[in-house]
Structure 1
Amino acid sequence: MPHSPLPEKQAHRRWRLASRLATADPGLIRLRLASRVTLTVVLCAAALALSHQLAPLPPAAYAVALTLAIQGAVAIRDATHRHRLATRVVCGLAGFAMLAVVSMIASEVVLVDLVFLGVAFAAVFARRWGARWNAVGMFSFMSCFIAAYFRPSPADLGAIAFALALSGLIADVVRDRLVPDRPAADLRRTLEAVDQRIAAVVSILRRAHRSGWTGDLRDAALAGEQRVKDALITAEGQLPAPTGGSQAPPDAATQLSIELFDLHLAAETALAAGLGGAPGDEAASARLMAALDRLARMRLAARQTAAGLTDEILDRAVAATPPGAAGAALPVWQDPTFRLAAQVTLACAIAMVGGSLVSEQRWFWAVLTAFLVFTNTQSRGDAALRGVARAVGTAGGIVVGIGLATLVHGQFALSLGFIAAFVFLAFYTLQLSYGALTFFMTLGLSLLYGLLGSFSPGLLVLRLEETLIGAAAGVGVAYFVFPQRTEAASGKAADAFLAELDRLLAAFADRRRGEGSAWRLVAVTQALDRRHAEIVAALRPLDSGWLAGERRRMVRRGQLRFTVLAYWAHRLAGASEGVMPIGSEDETDATLNACRAEIAELRRRRSDIFHEAQTVSLVPPDAASARADPAEPDAAIAIHAIRHILNQVMGSRTGSAEEAKPNVESALSTKTDPSDKQPARFAG
C-alpha cells in the first residue's frame, strides 16, 4: 500500500503553525497566560455548576469565585510555588475580610461607599511593598467591589468562603500543575524565536547586499532588528536578574546572559555594517561579511549554552537572586505611591457620584474604569491613552456584542464556547493592547448577559455611559490633581538612562584595570537597556499621533539619540576584553573622565537632547582608520561616538576644528526624517 503524504503534510503544517506562533510570541508567554486564565475560568465555572446541582450558592459567591479566579491567574506572580501559595492564601483572607466587613454594614450605604474608597486607596498604596501586596490589594478591591454591588448578608459568608477556596484551589492547580512554567524549555523556545528573527534580518541584509538598499528593505531591516531586540529582552527576562557585583566565575545561566548580550551586539553590528555599505564597496562588503560571521558564531554559542540548561539550574538561579535595594524614604505626601493612591481614590469617588446619577444599580462600571485607568501608567498622558483605549474598546465591543448576542440568542453551548474564546483572546492580547482586552471582555459580557436573561441593547449602552464617566473621572484627576506631566516622566527616565550610562563608563574603567568582572559590565548594560525601554514607554503618549509638527519631531529626535547612545554603549561594553588603543593610560582615563563630565552636564540640561543638534567636530581616534577586524567592537570609536552625540546635544565646540574622518563622522550622523521612528542608519 503506497505511503500517504497526508500525515507528513499535516505534520509540516503543524510545525509551521507552531514556528509562527513561537516567533510571534517568544517563549509562548502570552499563550500561556491566556490558557491559564481561560482554563481557570472554565474549570471554576464547571465546579460551580456542579455545586449548584448539589446546593445553590448566593449570587455573590458565584461572582466572587469567577472574578477572583481571573485575579488569581493574573495578579499572583511570585517566582516559586511556595511563595505563590503563600500569596494566594493572604489574598484569599484579605478578600474574605472585605466581603465580611461589607456584609456587616450593608444597610449603611454611605459607610459602604466610604469603606470602598478606603480599600481603593489601600489597594494602590500597597503596591509600594512589591508584587505580593499588589496582588493582595487587587483581591481586596475586587472583593469590596463585588460586595458593594451584591450586598451579601452575613449568612452568605459560608458559601462565599467556599467559593473563594474553590477558585483559589483551581487557580493554583492550573498555574502549577496543568499549565506550569517549564523554564528551560521556555527559554530554548524563546531563543528559537530569537534565532528566527535574526535569520530574517540576515536574509534582508544579504538581499540588500546583492541588489542594493530600497526604502522598503531599510524599513524592514530596522523593524526586524527591533523584533530581535524584543525577543532578546524576553529571553533575558527568563534568566535570573543581574546583581552586577559578583566576581565569581559565571554559572551556565550567567554565561548565557553574557552570550545574549554578545548576540545582541553582534546583531546590531551586522545591521550597522549592512546599512553603512554601498553597492560595489569592497570595504563595506568585507565589514558585512565579517559581521555576519561573528553573528553566526554568537548564535551557535548561545544555542550550545542554552542546551545545557535545566529547570533545576534556572530555578536555583532565580531563588538565589537577591531582592532589589529599597529606594530612599520620602515624606508620605511626596511618595509617588501615596500620590497615585490619592488620585485613584478621588477618581473613584467622582466616578461613584457621576455613575450613580446615571444608574443607581450600575455605577460600579464607572468606578472600575476610574480605578483601572491608573494601572501601569507613569504620567497623565499614559492615563489619557488608557482611558481612551478602554472607552474605544468598550464601544467597539458593544456594537459587535449587540449583533452577536442577537445571533446566538438561545444557543447555550455556542454562547459558552464564544465566551471562553473571548476570554482567551482578551488575555492573549493583554500585553499588546488594553483596548483589545476591553473589546473582547465586553463581547464576553454581552453573551453572558444573554445567558443570564438580562441582555438588552440599553444595558450595553448604559455600560458605555458608565465607562465614559469613569474614564473622564480618571483622566481629569490625572491632569489636575498631583499631575505627573509626561515631560516630567520622560525627563526622569532620561536622567536614569544617563546615570546608567555613567555607571557603564565607570564599570568599563574598572574592567580595564582588572577590578571588575565581565558579568558586572553585562549587568550594567542590561540595566541601561531597561532604562532605554522606560524612556520609550514614558515618551509613548507624546508619540501616539496626538501631536504634530515640531513637537513630535522633537520626541522622535530624542528617541533616536537615546537609541544611538544605547548602541554605542553596547559597543563599548563589548570591547572591554580588548586593548584600548587611545594612547597612554593617563590619556585613556582623561577621555573617560571627559565623557563622564559631559554626561553629568547633560543630566543638568537633559531637555536639550530633544532639540536640534549643533554642529561639532571631535577628532576621531587614530585607531578608527586602522581596524584589524571591523566587526569587533572598538572602545576608542565607541567612546568617541558617545562624546560626539553628547557634544552635539549640548552645542559644545570641544575638540579640534578639523573635520572628523568621513568613515566615522558619517556613522555618527543623527539626522533623521521626521516621519521615521528609527534612525535612517545605525551608527556602526
Structure 2
Amino acid sequence: MTFAAKIRDWLLANDPALSRLRMAGRVTLTVIAAVACLVLIHIAGLALPTIAYGLAIILSIEGGVAVRDRLPSDQLKTRLIGGAVSLLCVGLAAALEDYRYISDPMFLVVIAGATVGRVYGPRGFAVGMFAFTSYFMGAYLKPNLSDLPLGAIGPVIAVVTGHLVRTYLLPDDWRRDLLQSLVAIQGRVGDILMKLAVLSSGGAMTDGDRRELRQLEERLKDVVLMAEGFLPRTADGTIDPEDEPLTSLTMKIFDVHLAAESVIVLSFEALPPFLLVHALIEDDGDMTEKIAASPAVAGDDRVAENARALIWLQTARVALTEAIEEGRRDRFRAIDDAVAAPASAKIDFSLKNPVMRSAVQITIASSLAMAFGLMLSRDRWFWAVLTAFLIFTNTKSRGDAAIRALQRSIGTLLGIAAGLVLATLVGSYPLVSAPIAVLCIFLGFYCLQISYAAMTFFISIVLCLIYGMTGVLTLDLLQLRIEETLIGALAGTIVAFLVFPASTRSTLDLALGRWFDGLHELLSAVREGRSGFEIIALSHKLDAAYREITLAARPLGTTWSVVSRPGQVRQTLGIFLGATYWARIFARNAVQAGHKPEGPVLTALEDTLANIDALSARGSECFVVTRKLSRGGSRHLPIFKHGSRVGVEMIGTMLGRLYPAAA
C-alpha cells in the first residue's frame, strides 16, 4: 500500500465523510486566497492598510466556521450581512479609538448585541461572530478613519473568496457525503467482525476486550449518526415517511446498526465460532448458513443465538451494500434532492431562553476579563476578552465551561512553548515560517470538532510565527498572552458558576427527562400499534437522547469534579446504553410482528410504562446512588426467541438497576 493510500485510509477511519478535512481546507484556502488577493492589489500599486489584512484573515476564518446555512444562496446572504456588519463595527472602533472610556464599554455593547442576536438562529450566530471579531480587530490594530475606505477591501475579498471556495472548490454535497458515510459504516462493522474473529480464535474475552468492543460500537454509532444527518429532512427535522426510497435506506442503516450491536451484546455471553465469523468476513453466505446449522452451533442455545445475530448482520450488510452500489451508480437519484427550508427560529428575548441567559453570562464575563485585563496591559487586554467570549461556545453547563476554559489555557500554554521554539528557529525566514503557519491553521481547524485544546495549540503556534515574522516576538509578549488568557478563562469560569449557573446535574436532569420521554413515547407507540417507520423514527430519537446524556454527564467524569466517581458514571451510562439497546430491539421485534402486543408482553409493557413514570422524576440521582453490579448474575438474553417479551423485561431490569432502592 502506498503512503498516500495509507493517509487516505487513516483520514477515512477518523473522518468518515471527510467533513472535518473539507472544513479545515475551506478555512485554509480562503485565508490563502484572501491574503494573496490583497498582496496582488498591493503589488499593483495600491498600498493597503494593516486592517485590510486583519479583517480578511479573521472573516475568512469565521466565514468557514460560523456560516452554517445549507444552501449556497443563503450562505452568500449571511456573508453579505456579516460583511456589512463587520465594516460598521470596525468603523465604530476606529471612530471611538481616541475616546477609550467610550470605546471599551462599546466593545461590551457589541458583545451583548452579538450574543443576543443568536436568538435568530444560525444566521444570527454567524453575523454576531462577524461583529465581535471585527470590533476586536479594530480595537487591536487601531486603524485611522482614513484607513477604512481601503480597509473595506479586506472584508469584501473575504466574502467573495469564502463564497467561491465553499461553492465551487470544496462544495457541500449531501449525496457524496452520504455515500462516504455508508461506506464507513461497512468499514466499522468490518472492524467489529475482525475483533470478534481474533477473540473467537483465542476462545476468551478479557475486560479490556469488552472495552475495545464497546469503543468499536461507539465508533459505529458515530458514523451512523453522521449518515442519518446527511439524509434530507422536512422543515421540522423529520424524515418524510412518504419518500419510499429514503425510508428504505433509513431502515437499512437502522438494521445494520442494531444487528452489529446485537452481535456485540451476545458475544459478551458466548463468543461465536471462529469459522462462522470468518465466513461472514469473507461474505460467504452459504458457508455462514451451513456453520450456523451445524450441531456444534445449534446444540448450544447461547452460541446459536449469537449465530442468528450474525446471520441477521450478514443480511443487513448485504442490503446496505446494495444501497452503496446504487449510490455509486446513480448518486441516490431516487431520493428527492429538495431541501426543505428550516423552521424559523423562535424569537424569545426573555431570560427563560438559554440563549439570552448565555448572552448575559458572556457579557458579564467579558466585562470582568476587560477590567482585569486592562489592569495587566493597556494594549493587550483584548486576549482576555476573546478567551472569556469563546469559552461559552457550545457549552451547556458550568462544568462544560470550566472544561473548555482549562482546555484553552492548556492549549495556549503548550502552543506558545512550541511556537516560541519554531519562531526562534525559522522566524527570520518568511518563506519557511509562512507555510508552517498555513499548515498550523489547517491542523487547528481540522482539530476544532475533536479537541478544543488541540485547536488552541495550533493557533497559538500561528500567532507566535506571525510575531516572529513581524519582528515583535518577545518573551514578555508571550508571557502577557498567557496571563491574559488565564484571566479570560478564570472570568468565564467564575461567571459560569455564579451567574445563571446551569449545574451539570440540572443539565443532566434535562437530558434524562428527554430520554425518559423518548422511551415512554417509543413504548407507547408499540402498545398502540403505530406504523413501522414511525416506531423506527422514535427509536432513532431515543438513541439520540442517550447520546445527549453522555455529553451532559461528561463533566461528572472529570478529575476536578467532586460530584461522582468516573467509574460510577461509566457504570450508569452503561445501564442507559443497555436500556436504549433493549428498547430498540423491542421496537424492531414489534415492527416485524406486525401487530399490537398482547398477553404477557402487553402486561410487562404496561408495568414498564408505569415504572418509567415513577422513575423519571428521580433524574440524575442515578449517577450518585451506590449499586452493586454483579457479573455473575447475568443470564442468556435471547433476542430472537420470544424477543418481544424478553426485550420489555430487560428494559424493566435496566430501569431497576438505575435506581436500586426503588427496584
What amino acid maps onto 2:343 in structure 1?
A: P
Aligned position for 1:145: 136
Matches within 5 A, 1:255-334: 255-277=248-270, 282-309=300-327, 313=333, 316-317=336-337, 319-320=339-340, 323=343, 326=346, 332-334=350-352
Aligned-partner Cα distance in 2 for 1:548–1:155? 56
Q: 1:433 aligns with which of 447, 451, 454?
A: 451
CA shift for structure 1 position 205: 1.5
Work out whether residues 183 and 311 of structure 1, in 8 Å CA contact, stay in contact via their aligned partners in 2.
no
Work out whether residues 344 and 370 of structure 1, in 8 Å CA contact, stay in contact via their aligned partners in 2.
yes
Work out whether residues 104 and 154 of structure 1, in 8 Å CA contact, stay in contact via their aligned partners in 2.
yes
Q: 1:609 aligns with which of 612, 622, 625?
A: 622
The more displaced of 591-600 and 638-647 is 591-600
Aligned position for 1:201: 192
Matches within 5 A, 1:162-561: 162-211=153-202, 212-241=204-233, 248-277=241-270, 282-309=300-327, 313=333, 316-317=336-337, 319-320=339-340, 323=343, 326=346, 332-510=350-528, 512=529, 516-547=530-561, 551-561=565-575
Aligned-partner Cα distance in 2 for 1:592–1:448? 64
The more displaced of 245-254 and 271-280 is 245-254
Aligned position for 2:653: 644
- Aligned-residue Cα RMSD (Å) equals 2.8
Work out whether residues 422 and 441 of structure 1, in 8 Å CA contact, stay in contact via their aligned partners in 2.
yes
CA shift for structure 1 position 632: 7.8
**Cα distance, 1:330–1:420 mapped onto 2, change above 3 Å:** closer
Aligned position for 1:5: none
**Cα distance, 1:540–1:650 mapped onto 2, change above 3 Å:** closer
Aligned-partner Cα distance in 1 for 2:175–2:492? 42
What amino acid maps onto 2:544 in structure 1?
A: R
Work out whether residues 120 and 141 of structure 1, in 8 Å CA contact, stay in contact via their aligned partners in 2.
yes
**How high is the sequence identity, in percent, across the aligned residues?**
34
CA shift for structure 1 position 325: 8.2
Aligned-partner Cα distance in 1 for 2:502–2:615? 22
Aligned-partner Cα distance in 1 for 2:500–2:561? 23
Unpaired stretches in structure 2, ≥5 consecutive residues: 273-295
What amino acid maps onto 2:503 in structure 1?
A: R
Aligned position for 1:46: 36
Aligned-partner Cα distance in 2 for 1:47–1:137? 26
**Cα distance, 1:633–1:434 mapped onto 2, change above 3 Å:** farther
Aligned position for 1:35: 25
CA shift for structure 1 position 314: 9.2
What amino acid maps onto 2:187 in structure 1?
A: Q
The more displaced of 62-71 and 269-278 is 269-278
CA shift for structure 1 position 145: 1.2
Aligned-partner Cα distance in 1 for 2:257–2:465? 46
Aligned position for 1:591: 604
**Cα distance, 1:319–1:521 mapped onto 2, change above 3 Å:** same
Matches within 5 A, 1:95-110: 95-110=86-101
Work out whether residues 245 and 520 of structure 1, in 8 Å CA contact, stay in contact via their aligned partners in 2.
no
Aligned-partner Cα distance in 2 for 1:384–1:533? 21
Aligned position for 1:565: 579
Residue 118 (1) aligns with residue 109 (2) = yes
CA shift for structure 1 position 322: 5.2
Aligned-partner Cα distance in 2 for 1:314–1:94? 42
The more displaced of 94-103 and 462-471 is 94-103
CA shift for structure 1 position 315: 8.8
Give CA deviations for 1:465-506 in whole Å, capped at 9, x if unaligned: 110111011111111111111111111111111111111112
Aligned-partner Cα distance in 2 for 1:550–1:197? 32
Aligned-partner Cα distance in 2 for 1:101–1:175? 30
CA shift for structure 1 position 249: 3.7
Unpaired stretches in structure 1, ≥5 consecutive residues: 1-8, 655-684
**Cα distance, 1:236–1:296 mapped onto 2, change above 3 Å:** same
Q: SS state of the match for residue 590, structure 2?
A: coil
Aligned-partner Cα distance in 2 for 1:653–1:405? 62
Aligned-partner Cα distance in 2 for 1:272–1:63? 54
CA shift for structure 1 position 363: 0.4
Work out whether residues 601 and 644 of structure 2, in 8 Å CA contact, stay in contact via their aligned partners in 1.
no
Moved over 6 A (4+): 244-247, 580-583
Work out whether residues 392 and 492 of structure 2, in 8 Å CA contact, stay in contact via their aligned partners in 1.
yes
Aligned-partner Cα distance in 1 for 2:194–2:391? 42
Work out whether residues 115 and 128 of structure 2, in 8 Å CA contact, stay in contact via their aligned partners in 1.
yes
Give CA deviations for 1:246-292 in whole Å, capped at 9, x if unaligned: 78443323322221111110010011121111688832222222211
**Cα distance, 1:448–1:251 mapped onto 2, change above 3 Å:** farther
Give CA deviations for 1:123-147 in whole Å, capped at 9, x if unaligned: 2222222111110111111111112
What amino acid maps onto 1:51 in structure 2?
A: I
Work out whether residues 386 and 488 of structure 2, in 8 Å CA contact, stay in contact via their aligned partners in 1.
yes
Give CA deviations for 1:152-210 in whole Å, capped at 9, x if unaligned: 33322322322111111001111111111232222222222221121111122223223
Aligned position for 1:129: 120
Aligned position for 1:667: none
Aligned-partner Cα distance in 2 for 1:550–1:451? 48
Work out whether residues 580 and 636 of structure 1, in 8 Å CA contact, stay in contact via their aligned partners in 2.
no
Work out whether residues 184 and 314 of structure 1, in 8 Å CA contact, stay in contact via their aligned partners in 2.
no
CA shift for structure 1 position 416: 0.7
CA shift for structure 1 position 313: 4.9
The more displaced of 267-276 and 156-165 is 156-165
Aligned-partner Cα distance in 2 for 1:81–1:336? 29
Aligned-partner Cα distance in 2 for 1:129–1:247? 26
Number of aligned positions between the proteins? 629
Aligned-partner Cα distance in 1 for 2:629–2:463? 59
CA shift for structure 1 position 343: 0.8
Work out whether residues 244 and 523 of structure 1, in 8 Å CA contact, stay in contact via their aligned partners in 2.
no
Q: SS state of the match for residue 334, structure 1?
A: coil
The more displaced of 557-566 and 476-485 is 557-566
Give CA deviations for 1:309-342 in whole Å, capped at 9, x if unaligned: 456859945613753885xx87713322221111
Give CA deviations for 1:341-400 in whole Å, capped at 9, x if unaligned: 111101101111111111111100000000001111111111111111111111001111
CA shift for structure 1 position 589: 4.4
Aligned-partner Cα distance in 2 for 1:94–1:578? 56
Aligned position for 1:91: 82
Aligned position for 2:644: 635
**Cα distance, 1:477–1:129 mapped onto 2, change above 3 Å:** same
**Cα distance, 1:318–1:213 mapped onto 2, change above 3 Å:** farther
Give CA deviations for 1:16-51 in whole Å, capped at 9, x if unaligned: 432222111110111111111111111111111112
Aligned-partner Cα distance in 2 for 1:119–1:152? 18
Work out whether residues 22 and 190 of structure 1, in 8 Å CA contact, stay in contact via their aligned partners in 2.
no
Work out whether residues 239 and 247 of structure 2, in 8 Å CA contact, stay in contact via their aligned partners in 1.
no
Work out whether residues 405 and 490 of structure 2, in 8 Å CA contact, stay in contact via their aligned partners in 1.
yes
**Cα distance, 1:244–1:638 mapped onto 2, change above 3 Å:** farther
Aligned-partner Cα distance in 2 for 1:403–1:322? 48
Give CA deviations for 1:507-546 in whole Å, capped at 9, x if unaligned: 2233x2xxx3322222222222222111111111111233
CA shift for structure 1 position 223: 1.5
The more displaced of 428-437 and 273-282 is 273-282
Q: SS state of the match for residue 373, structure 2?
A: helix
